[in-house]
Structure 1
Amino acid sequence: MILGISRRGWLIAAALLAAFAAILFAMGRPPICPCGTVSLWHGTVQSNQNSQQVSDWYSFSHVIHGFIFFGLSRWLIPARPLWIALALAIGVEAAWEILENSAVIIDRYREVTMAYGYSGDSILNSVSDAIFMVIGFLAASRMRWWATVVIAIAFELFTLWAIRDNLTLNVLMLVSPIEAVKEWQAGG
């Protein structure tokens, strides 16, 4: 057992991630950045490599997804083994990434957020996002709830300061866009 997850649980997690990558491939998503390079980090939000590399500013949001999914799993299915909760979290994260890379959400991002030239994620970035969620999930399983909340708030404030965006604003602007926020995010 590694980090509270059985070998069977890790195999199921790996199979879910592989199936997720296969679905993205079938959707026509590029395996890596169309620019032809692979980087561990890309820190320029308004660029053709954002959401294409292994990690970027939005990786912090995916760690927070893991915190949230762990908390929900312990509240909704507390008696289930951790690997089942992790498998469900991977399923939810993968479903979001698939939806996020659909034409309707890509167009919505372009229309109402600061992601003016957004064309969706590479498979590398989407799978990495899911892995960052797994890291957040497993970290939350080892920390006290209040430490998880403090780290989530710190991540939100840090990315707000660094790029004028974070998970909270991303959800707000996707669901109920505010023009003043969009202008502020664009540097106006």
Structure 2
Amino acid sequence: MTSDTRLDRPALILTALITLGTLITLLAMGRVPFCQCGHIDLWGTVGTSEASQQLADWYTPSHLLHGFLFYGALWLVARRVPLGWRLVVATVVECAWEIIENTDAVIQRYREVTISLDYFGDSVLNSGADIAAMFAGFWLARVLPVWASVAVVIGFEVLTMWVIRDGLALNIIMLLYPVEAIATWQAG
């Protein structure tokens, strides 16, 4: 195997430990393990308080896209670093985001400047699925041709914009620099 395809044991163990540490940290922060509604569904309904409490939701594709983007960025700047260690870096970034995203300050920011008025943070189950989606995106980006990776990223962005009037790009824009025209369009 070439260095680009090898996932050596230490890197995989570290990736698993970072992920586990993140889930424990989220529990320690007071995030609920799973939906307080009393049941676990595969898909959370957008516009409800349980949307980000179930296993997956309409924001799960954005985490898949994180994997594509992390793989691409790390291939550009660190392609000589073995794949497993690039996965460790991607995992650190994704897990840091899951922790930051679930702080009271960021949750409040989402509620103030985005369409996510009923956002109360992710359940630990949802965060775990988001991290797994990043892993899937990272792996897909490794095996798909570049054109297919670009098509997946564009396709998911268009799909989520069409279905829920949101997506990775709009989410980042609205979180960092809210645009009134976007907010008006998202409100329907």
TM class by smaller structure: over 0.9
CA distance in 2, matches of 1:5, 1:78: 14
- Give the alignment partner of residue 11 of structure 2, picking from 9, 12, 30: 9
Show CA shifts across 1:129-187 (max 9, x none). 01100100010011122210111000100111111111010001001111221122121
Counterpart amino acid of residue 86 in structure 1: L
CA distance in 1, matches of 2:67, 2:78: 16
Partner of 1:53: 54
Percent identity, please.
45
Partner of 1:41: 43
TM-score norm. by structure 1 comes to 0.94
Q: Which runs of 4+ in 1 moved over 4 A?
A: none
Alpha-carbon offset, residue 127 of structure 1: 1.2
CA distance in 2, matches of 1:156, 1:20: 27
TM-score norm. by structure 2 comes to 0.94
Query: Unpaired segments of 5 or more residues in structure 1?
Result: none
Counterpart amino acid of residue 159 in structure 2: F
> What's the secondary structure of 1:132's corresponding residue?
helix
CA distance in 1, matches of 2:6, 2:22: 23
Partner of 1:102: 103
The count of aligned residue pairs is 185
Alpha-carbon offset, residue 41 of structure 1: 1.6
Alpha-carbon offset, residue 97 of structure 1: 0.9
Alpha-carbon offset, residue 11 of structure 1: 2.2
CA distance in 1, matches of 2:135, 2:6: 13
Query: Unpaired segments of 5 or more residues in structure 2?
Result: none
Question: What value does the CA root-mean-square deviation take over the aligned residues?
Answer: 1.3
